[in-house]
Amino acid sequence: MAEIIPLPTKAPQTSRELEPLWRDALGERLRRLRHDRGERLADTADRAGVSPQYLSEIERGLKEPSSEMIAAVAGALEVTLIELTAGVVDDLRSRASERAVVGCRAAFALAA
């Protein structure tokens, strides 16, 4: 009698898939800046000239905002584009080094 072998329902993740998208990292950084200022979504959105729904979608990484929108939100949060971009890069570097450490630990665990 034939044996039924279940097929994987999802392809295995590669290290490339674990890397966050720019829009996700940007959204997280914007949300953190807004929270650090103790602001509501509606307040920041109003100053940036966007709807609260759109700003929420940016913060959740659901929208790929134009450079003009990024500049408007950065201005509303009183940060420069350089400061915002540098912060996002720092966040991405931090995540990359965390992934490297976890990968190293996994390799050592497999070797043991």
What CATH number should be reported for the domain holding residue 74? Answer: 1.10.260.40
pLDDT tens figures, 66-76: 999 999 999 99
* Residue 62 CB-half CA count within 13 A: 7
Does residue 6 belong to any structural domain of this protein?
A: no
* Residue 85 CB-half CA count within 13 A: 6
Number of domains present in the structure of the chain? 1
Q: Is the pLDDT of residue 36 over 70?
A: yes
pTM for the predicted model, two decimal places: 0.73
Does residue 68 belong to any structural domain of this protein?
A: yes
Residue 104 belongs to domain spanning: 20-111
Q: Could you give the CA distance from residue 81 to residue 78 in angstroms, rounded to a whole number?
A: 10
Does residue 66 belong to any structural domain of this protein?
A: yes
Give the distance, in angstroms, between the CA of residue 23 and the centroid of all CA atoms in the same chain.
6
Does residue 15 belong to any structural domain of this protein?
A: no
Residues 6+ apart with CB under 8 A from 57: 63
Does residue 103 belong to any structural domain of this protein?
A: yes
Does residue 12 belong to any structural domain of this protein?
A: no
Q: What is the C-alpha R_g of the chain?
A: 20
Tell me the C-alpha to C-alpha distance, in Å, between residue 4 and each of 1, 7, 8: 10, 9, 13
What band does 91 get if pLDDT is binned at 50, 70 and 90?
A: very high
pLDDT tens figures, 3-20: 776 666 655 555 555 788
Tell me the average pLDDT of the chain.
Answer: 85
